Every structure is written in C-alpha cells, then in structure tokens.
Amino acid sequence: MPLRRTQPGALVSVRFSSVLFTSLPREHEDAWTKKYGLRYPNDSELRRVATSLDTFAAGDGVAFVRFFERCLGVHGSEATHIFYVCPWVGGSISEPGILNPTRSPLLMQMTVLHELAHRLLTLNNAYEIGRSRSGSLSDAWRFRWGTELSFVTLTHVPVFALLDEYVALHPELRAVLDADRDRHAAHPAYARAWEIVEQRGSAEVCLDARECFLGLHIGRG
C-alpha cells in the first residue's frame, strides 16, 4: 500500500515505551488477561506492532490530519501526535495516547485513526461539551443528532463520520473500517453513533460538525 504524501508541520507517530510497559504492576497484567482473554504480550511483540503502526501513521495518519483540517475547517497539523502501544486494561484512549494491542496490526490501523480523531477534536475544544455555558458544542451537537444521546455516543458520531468519509477517499481501508464497525456493534453507545451516521449520512454529519465549530468560534469572538 503506497504511503500518503506527508507535508512539513504534521507528525503522527506510534512508539513503544519500555518505561511505560515495565511500570505496570503485575495486577494490571492479570486484569488485562482476564478482561480480553488474550496472552499478555511481551516487549518484542509490542515493538513489532509499534513499528508496523508507525509506518501507517507516518502516511495515513498525517493524511488524516490534513483531511480533518479540510473537512472541519479547524487545525491539527501544528501539533505532534504521539501514541504508545501498550496493553491497557481500560482500552485504547486518545489522551495520553495509548493503543491497546487487542487486535491484529492491520485492524489496529483503524484504532490509530480513531484515537487520532479524538485527539484532534480535543485540540479544537470539542470536549468542552460538558460545560453548561450557553452555546456549547454539547447543545449544538445534541440539537443536530439527538437530545437523548449519552456522552460516549455524542463524541463518537463525528469520529465515525470522519472515518467513513476518509475511507471513501481511500477504499483500500474499507474492509478495515467495516471490521472495526462490526466490533463496535456489541457496544450499544458505539452502535447508536454508527446508526446516526448511517441515517444522516457521514458527509452531512461532517458538515454539521463544521458548522458547529464555526458557531463556537464566532461565539467566542
């Protein structure tokens, strides 16, 4: 698969940290193995996964940052986006940037883009949605997508729409996204987010998000 062309100013990297890995207590290893039903990986295995994902991140990760900027009209390329492959009982998380290796390196490519989307939304203040001030993104997103939505569903609607639109431009990733969506079907909050994206259309959801960001920035003056 050819790498996307990178541009100066954008960096997305996936790494392995021996300090992070060895700092986890034995109780964490036991909890992770019990939760995921997998053998606990060793440092050599984690390094190989990180190397594979880093190659993907250097190409598609950077391309996704550029796509995010064009799609939503906000920034993302000024920052360096670093993620670490580490068995984490809480799962993958955009902050502080943990990729939990519970799937094949190929399927974890979508995890990279998923957590990168969360990271970029965070950088653009999308997760100030819990605040009660008038005109917040919480108000705007709920008005567009459903007043009854949980926090998890609400924050995943734009993530899934962005992924769907990006993959439409890069169809070689479609099977990976479809497998990722199938995995989320077992999680009601994620499944509901995908349902909204399907019903409204990923392009329309991205337009919603762009307009909401514009309204937020105008409101701030």
Residue range 154-176, pLDDT digits in tens: 889 999 999 999 999 999 999 99
Q: What number of residues does the chain have?
A: 221
Please report where in the chains the tokens 């290796």 appear, as a residue.
Answer: 101
CA distance 58 to 67: 14
User: Is 207 strand, coil or helix?
Assistant: helix
- Give tens-digit pLDDT for 128-145: 554 444 446 677 888 888
Q: What pLDDT, on the 0 to 100 scale, is given for residue 10?
A: 66
What are the CA-CA distances from residue 97 to residues 7, 79, 118, 159, 181 (Å)?
22, 13, 10, 16, 21
The answer on pLDDT for 123 being more than 80 is: no
pTM assigned to the model: 0.88
User: Average per-residue pLDDT in the chain?
Assistant: 85
Kindly tell me the burial class for residue 207, based on how many C-beta atoms sit within 10 Å of its own C-beta (0-12, 13-18, 19 or more): middle
Distant-in-sequence, close-in-space partners of 167: CB < 8 Å, separation ≥ 6: 173, 174, 176, 177
Q: What pLDDT, on the 0 to 100 scale, is given for residue 4?
A: 39
Beta strand residue intervals within 101-178, DSSP E: none
